[in-house]
Amino acid sequence: MWFKNLRLYKVNEAISGDQEQLERQFAEFKFSPCMAQEAMKIGFTSPLHPSFKSFCHLTSDLLLVAVKRQEKVLPGAVVQEELEPKIAAAEQEKGRPLSRKEKQALKEELIQALLPRAFSRSSVTRALYDREQQWLLVDTSSSSKAEEVLALMRKALGSLPALPLLDNHKLNQQLHFWLQGKELPAGFELGNEAELKAPDEEGAKVRFSNHLLSADEVQSHLEDKLVTRLALDLPEQLSLLVCEDSSIKRLKFHEVVCQQNDEMGWDDLAARLDADLLLMHQLLRAALEPLLKNLEQ
């Protein structure tokens, strides 16, 4: 339930509809496992808990969805080991070396033959839509995975015009200032991790972990390097790692705030998960509003 990473988007047309209507739309693209000859399948799954049969969850002004991706695992080394004797046999039969196109055709044929015996690997990516702010928060640091979620939501909803919330150019500038301890988003403090990279072709990198970022040995690198990652803390609430590609990684909520709903227990699973979702959103909004305001200045 608690997000660990973030990709942030602004939705330009509000997602409307009640639980029943949205449920029908998402159910049309529900997840089903890979068949024997399929390499990958993707679809909506229960966002709150596997025991629930719904394909979306609407509470207050929040919409939670989850996209499940299943793919067959075929290690390249295994494919190559099986492929080499087939190429050798084909070349011997034809009396000449195979062309690149012929080798690729043999490889694709082999992959199709191996797929039924391949292991399956599954992952679930959740996305939280805030109707009031028209934010879409995707629990991943990968732009490709986030776009995969958005693409499936567009299929279900008909359209979903969305753009990244974080401006890369402005973010790169602010990371430099933030590491200097200047113009930090309201309420935030420097964390203890940073990465800097030289802008030349060689791109020399230096990383600091569990380090006092205000120390001279860190600050001196700002003269000839760009900040590519920076840890920030919102005391007693959460910590995060802001990256130059506009992703947020290592999102960690303070243990004390995560325990606020513990008195509810787990007898009513739906109510507890719903309460945790609202709490997580409250904390995320408290962090994202000053961060985004800082970048708009």
Indicate the residue among 164, 195, 227 that finishes a domain: 164
Is residue 1 in some structural domain? no
Q: Are residues 107 and 235 in the same domain?
A: no
Q: Are residues 210 and 243 in the same domain?
A: yes
What angle, 0 to 180 degrees and rounded to 10, lies between the N-to-C axes of helices 143-157 and 19-27? 110
Q: Are residues 41 and 141 in the same domain?
A: yes
Residue 245, class by beta-carbon neighbours within 10 Å (0-12 exposed, 13-18 middle, 19+ buried)? middle
Is residue 2 in some structural domain? no
- Give pLDDT tens digits for 138-149: 999 999 999 999
Beta strands in 110-211 (DSSP E): 119-130, 135-138, 162-164, 189-197, 205-209
Q: Are residues 25 and 139 in the same domain?
A: yes
- Give pLDDT tens digits for 261-293: 988 999 999 899 999 999 999 999 999 999 999
Is residue 291 in some structural domain? yes
Q: Are residues 158 and 28 in the same domain?
A: yes
Q: What is the pTM of this model?
A: 0.86
Is residue 45 in some structural domain? yes
Q: Are residues 103 and 151 in the same domain?
A: no
Q: Are residues 97 and 130 in the same domain?
A: no
Is residue 211 in some structural domain? yes
Q: Are residues 127 and 17 in the same domain?
A: yes
- Domains in the chain: how many in total? 3
Side by side, which strands form the sheet with 248-253?
205-209, 189-197, 226-234, 238-243, 248-253
Retrieve residue 78's tokens.
């295994």
Q: How confident is the model at residue 94 (pLDDT cuts 50, 70, 90)?
A: confident
Q: Are residues 16 and 156 in the same domain?
A: yes
Is residue 41 in some structural domain? yes
Q: Are residues 175 and 250 in the same domain?
A: yes
Q: Are residues 31 and 140 in the same domain?
A: yes
Q: Are residues 195 and 245 in the same domain?
A: yes
- Give pLDDT tens digits for 101-115: 988 998 988 888 888
State the residue range of the domain holding 235: 168-296
Retrieve residue 139's tokens.
């629990």
